Chains A and B, each alone.
Chain A
C-alpha cells in the first residue's frame, strides 16, 4: 500500500516535470544556501578558534603610546615610551606568570642564493613560553644570549620552506639578516594564521638585544614598542591589568587624570570577542539562508494547493472507488515530501560543491559537518510535511460528490 503510494507520488511528480522542477528549485536554493553558509561560517569559526589557541592564553600586550586615540595614536606611538626595565618591573607584580619585551621589524633574510623578506621579532627567551610555541628542530636561545646579544635565530616554518626548502636541515646553518650572519638555532612549529589573517610562520625570532643593536639600529638602548605579559590564570586577569596600569603610571610619572603614554590590551578578551563576532556572523548567515528555505516551503504549499484543485476530479474518483481520507492525505503529503526531499538532496550536492569551489578559488576555510547536512535534510523534510499538510488535508476533506462534479 505504502509503496503503491510512493509510486503514485513519484508518478505525479513526473507528470508535470517543469512545474515539479520549479517548485523544487526553491528548496534547492534554500538548502544549498544553508549548507554553503554553514560551511563558510563554521570554517571561519574554526580558523578563529585555531588562531586563538595558537596565540597563547591569558595574555596582555602593553603598547607604547597613549590608549584610544584613534589615528593620532600611531603618531605618538612612534615615541617609544616603554623599556626593558618596565618589563622587568612587571615581572615582579602579583599574578604575573611571564613577561617578554618585544621589538619588531622587517628584514631580508638570505641563505645561499635564496632571498626572503620576513618579520623579525626581537625578544627574550620567555616569549616562546608565553606564546606556547614549540620547536620542531634544534633549541631556543637563552637569557645569556640576550645579555650578550649573540647572533642566533629561530626561524618560522614559512621562512624555513622558502630559504632552505625540504632537503636542507636549517639547524646550525648560517643565514644573513641585513648582511649580519646569524646561526639558526631552531625551527619553530607551525602556528598558522593570526586573528588578523597574517601568516605567523613567516617570522624570525632573535634575541632582543641583537635585534636592537644589529638589525633595527638607532634606537634608545633598552626601549621597546611592546611588552607581552602572561597572567597566571584567567581569574587574575582583571587584577593583573590594574597592577600593570598602576605600576607603569608610577614608573612613567603620570599624574592622576593625565593621559598615560602606554596602553594595556587584554588579548584574550579581544580574541574572545573576535570569536563571538564570527559566531554571530555565522549564525546570521545561517538565518538568512533559512529564510530562503522557508520561501521554498511556501512555494511547495502554493503548488500543492494548485495541484489539489486541478486534481479535484481525480480525488473524487479515488474516493468513489474506496480511498479513505487518510489515503488521499498521504498521497498528497508524500508528493510534497518527495519534492522537498529530492530538492534537498540536490541542494546538499550544490551546497557542498559550492563550498568546495569557494575553498578552491578563494582559499577560505570551509567545514562541512555531517550534522549540518543532516539538520538541513531534516528541516527540508519537515518543511515538506508542514507546508504539504494543509493542501493534503484540503484534498482529503473534499466531498466525493462535489469532487466528481468538478470540471
Chain B
C-alpha cells in the first residue's frame, strides 16, 4: 500500500464565468500521508472548497495531477471515479446533505446501495455506525427530527459506512455551536486514532488545532504548511 494517500501536483482550477475564465487555484502542490490529520484554513474565497471538491473527486482540476492512493484520478473514467467516491472517500459537508425523505438508518446505508450490498447487511452496518456516533436510539427518525450536531454525526456515520481510508470534511462545524463542534471534533480525533486519514476545512483556529497539520490557503495558493505541534511550541516560546 502506498504511504501517500494524496498527492496533488501543480493543480490549477479556473471556473468559466460570463466574464471569462476565473482562476481559483493557482499551482497547488500538496502531499498527505496515510494516517495524517490535516486542517485547511484560509479566508473565504481563497479556494478551499474548490480544492476539497477536487480531493473528493467531485470536480476535476483544469491543469495538473491528483493521485489518490497512487492512482491518477484524472485518468479514471466516470464509473471508476464514482467507485472512488463510494469506497475510498467519505465526504462530510457543511450543510450535512442528508436525504430528508429517508430515515437516519437509510441515510447511513445509502452508499452501500451503490456498493451492491444486500439490504440486511446494509441496515446492520448502518446501525453499527449510528451506535458508534451515539445515535442508536434515533435510527428510525428523519433528519428534520434531530439537532444539527446530530445530523452532522449521521453524515459522518454515512461517510464511514463503506470503511473509507480518507475522510474529507468541508467546514463540518460551520453550522454548529461551539459545544457541539467540540463533540464532532472529538469524533474526528477518535477516527484519526483508528487510522483514518482526515482532511478538514475550517475557519476557526481552535478547531484547526485538533489536527496534526495545518495548511493555509490565500488567493488560490498554499502559503503556510506547519505541524500543529511545532506551531503551539513556537507560540509557547
Contact = CB atoms under 8 A, between A and B. Distances in A.
Interface of A: 1, 3-5, 11, 15, 313-314, 316-327, 400-401, 404
Contacts of B208: none
B101 A322 contact: no
Nearest to A15: B101
Contact of A322 (B97, B99, B111, B119): B111
B19 interface: no
24 contacts: A1-B114, A11-B101, A314-B99, A316-B97, A317-B98, A318-B110, A319-B58, A319-B85, A320-B58, A320-B97, A321-B158, A322-B86, A322-B111, A322-B115, A323-B82, A324-B83, A324-B114, A325-B82, A326-B79, A327-B114, A400-B58, A400-B59, A401-B59, A404-B58
Contact of A321 (B78, B111, B116): B111
B114 A322 contact: yes
Contacts of B82: 319, 322-325, 327
Contacts of B97: 313, 316-317, 320, 404
Given A317-B99, A324-B82, A1 B113 contact: yes
Chain B contact surface mostly: helix
A317 B82 CA distance: 12
Which residue, of B114, B116, B119, has the highest number of chain A Cβ atoms within 10 A? B114
Interface in B141-162: 158, 162
A321 B85 contact: yes
Contacts of B85: 319-322
Interface in B72-106: 78-79, 82-83, 85-87, 91, 93, 97-99, 101
A400 to B, nearest CB: 5
Interface of B: 53, 56, 58-59, 78-79, 82-83, 85-87, 91, 93, 97-99, 101, 110-111, 113-116, 119, 122, 158, 162
Contact of B79 (A5, A324, A400): A324
Nearest to A321: B111
Contacts of A15: 101
Nearest to B114: A322
Of the listed residues B78, B83, B122, the one surrounded by the most CB atoms of chain A closer than 10 A to its CB is B78
Contact of B78 (A1, A325, A401): A325
Given A4-B113, A321-B114, 15 more contacts: A314-B99, A317-B98, A317-B99, A319-B85, A320-B56, A321-B85, A321-B91, A322-B85, A322-B111, A322-B115, A323-B114, A324-B79, A325-B78, A326-B79, A327-B114
B142 to A, nearest CB: 12
Contacts of A325: 78-79, 82
Contact of A4 (B59, B119, B158): B119
Q: Which 10 A-B pairs have the closest CB atoms?
A: A322-B86, A324-B82, A321-B111, A322-B114, A322-B85, A4-B113, A400-B58, A317-B97, A1-B116, A323-B114
A318 to B, nearest CB: 7
A407 to B, nearest CB: 10
A401 B58 contact: yes
Contacts of B79: 324-326
A3 B91 contact: no
B87 A322 contact: yes
Contact of B91 (A1, A320, A324): A320
Contacts of A326: 79
Contacts of A317: 97-99
A319 B57 CA distance: 10
Nearest to B83: A322
B232 to A, nearest CB: 34
A325 B83 CA distance: 11
A316 B59 CA distance: 12
B130 to A, nearest CB: 16
Most buried by B among A5, A321, A325: A321
A319 B93 CA distance: 14
A373 to B, nearest CB: 34
Contacts of B58: 319-320, 400-401, 404
Contacts of B114: 1, 318, 321-324, 327
Contacts of B93: 320, 404
B165 to A, nearest CB: 14
Nearest to B90: A321
A1 B97 CA distance: 22
Contacts of A314: 99
B92 to A, nearest CB: 10
A229 B45 CA distance: 99
A3 B119 contact: yes
By CB atoms of chain A within 10 A, which of B58, B82, B86, B115 has the most? B82
Contacts of B98: 317
A401 B113 contact: no
Contacts of B113: 1, 4-5
A278 to B, nearest CB: 52
Nearest to A4: B113
A5 B87 CA distance: 19
B154 to A, nearest CB: 13
A390 to B, nearest CB: 20
B227 to A, nearest CB: 30
Contacts of A322: 82-83, 85-87, 111, 114-115, 162
Contacts of A321: 85-86, 91, 110-111, 114, 158
A325 B81 CA distance: 11
A393 to B, nearest CB: 14
Q: Taking each of B53, B101, B158, which has the highest tally of chain A beta carbons within 10 Å of its own beta carbon?
A: B101
